[in-house]
Amino acid sequence: MPKQTWSDRFESALNPIIAEFNASIGFDIELLEYDIRGSIAHAKMLSHTGIISKDEALQLITGLEQILLEYQEGHFNPGIEAEDVHFAVERRLTELVGDAGKKLHTARSRNDQVGTDIRLYLRDRIEEIREQLRGLQQVLLKHAEKNVETMIPGYTHLQRAQPLSLAHHLLAYFQMLQRDWERLGEVYKRTNISPLGCGALAGTTFPIDRHYTASELEFGGLYGNSLDGVSDRDFAIEFLCASSLIMVHLSRLSEELILWASQEFNFITLKDNCSTGSSIMPQKKNPDVPELVRGKTGRVFGHLQGMLVLMKGLPLAYNKDLQEDKEALFDGVKTVQGCLGAMTVLLREGLEFNRDRLMSSVDEDFSNATDVADYLATKGVPFREAYNLVGKAVKTSLAAGKLLKELTLEEWKALHPKFEEDIYQAIAPQQVVAARNSYGGTGFEQVRNAIKEAKVQLLEGHST
């Protein structure tokens, strides 16, 4: 086995089973681009402070750029013998530039190095995910603009409650994603702090310039405590927490799409490009995308729980346990990005709303009962009394096999003399929805205002 970085301290090589168990190169190769970026900044700083010569720094930078090119072209594929991505890069660098390569690790530990790499990686992924959130919001907003006056039954306890504007329903998810976008912005700020220069745990005796490397890597600040800098994974936990909430929102939307696509609801029709059929039941069209999103949600939840358990008992500072943070983080990123991408495609081109069915569905139940009570309240009847009278009206209608709209005026007046001919207009679905014009409500005027506000939020997002 090749010589390891610590081998002069030890008399024998690692047992092959332990070497394989100990290695992280199988997954932390994901960080290679960021490891090289961080190393280039470190080499520049070493030259800037006079710790190494300008010529040595140039050799290091040239060699690091060569390694990145080799990796991108598929020619650099380190195996388990490299242990991790950091040693793999350092070893290859020494092969390329000789003894100068051995100076790269001056005033740096793998502890602050890996902390820097992870933050650089996650910064980029956060920006990508925020952009994906914006893309999904835009698709929801387009559907909302087309369906302000399309109505859908609103539910509580999965029982018909009150009719809604379909746009209002879709904009609820827009707002959930807006919070996700804002939350990731906060996570970005706490990810964008440089641990480079914290060393193994106590800083370094070399006259380094941590502000220089932070500026080179476009970090927004520095860790002020070296122990905290190398051992902090709060930002990773926060990211997985924010990701879990994204998945909660996607899963809730998925559940509704699955219900809406069923024959019982028939609110949407899935298109062939985003669904599959059954192997034995040719009539079926399955909602694969939302089902997979709903299923993958548990993966992200699991990674969050795993990270919390990983960190809860670690003494300061760095411990090998922290090697376990990467696979959870990488898979969490991959899962969230995959689900956002698939859901965006599904909503953009994989389904259509069955407007006739939606409009008829709000006209076939008792979800206008509250509006009957409101009608009486506007005519001076105390609301609680009106509420009880409407309960009797529903009971009477059910006994007669009628809907409220089918009661005669005589039947209405038998319940209370305040009922007049205008009750029929008051309980018509279009009026029921339009009348809920309080700020944030489902009234058509409010929904149009909400669409305008949503467009402003998207514009503001592109300017920050």
| Phi, psi for 262 (deg, rounded to 5) | -70, 160
CB 258 within 8 A of CB 348: no
Contacts of 297 (CB under 8 A, 6+ apart): 244, 247, 248, 250, 251, 339
Rounded to whole angstroms, how far apart are CA atoms 275 and 56? Answer: 58
Residue 274 CA to its chain's centroid (Å):
21
Residue 268 CA to its chain's centroid (Å):
25
Rounded to whole angstroms, how far apart are CA atoms 382 and 389? Answer: 11
Rounded to whole angstroms, how far apart are CA atoms 293 and 344? Answer: 12
Among candidate residues 440, 464, 460, the one with its CA nearest the CA of residue 171: 440
| Phi, psi for 446 (deg, rounded to 5) | -65, -40
Q: Does residue 157 have an active-site annotation? A: yes
Largest CA-CA distance found in the chain, in angstroms, rounded: 101
For residue 112, the tally of other CB atoms under 10 A from its CB is 28
- Rounded to the nearest 10 degrees, how much is the dihedral formed by the CA atoms of 296, 338, 173, 284? -70
Rounded to whole angstroms, how far apart are CA atoms 152 and 210? Answer: 58
Q: Which amino acid is at 187?
A: V
- Residue that the structure tokens 């650089």 belong to: 120
For residue 189, the tally of other CB atoms under 10 A from its CB is 11
Burial class (CB in 10 A: 0-12, 13-18, 19+), 268: buried
Q: What's the token pair of residue 259?
A: 């219900």
Q: Does residue 243 have an active-site annotation? A: no
Determine which one of 75, 157, 462, 463 is catalytic.
Answer: 157
- Residue that the structure tokens 């998925």 belong to: 254
Among candidate residues 440, 459, 450, the one with its CA nearest the CA of residue 134: 459
Determine which one of 53, 262, 278, 360 is catalytic.
Answer: 278
CB 167 within 8 A of CB 451: yes
Mapping DSSP to helix (H, G, I), strand (E, B) and coil, where does residue 50 land?
Answer: coil
Q: Catalytic residues, which ones?
A: 157, 278
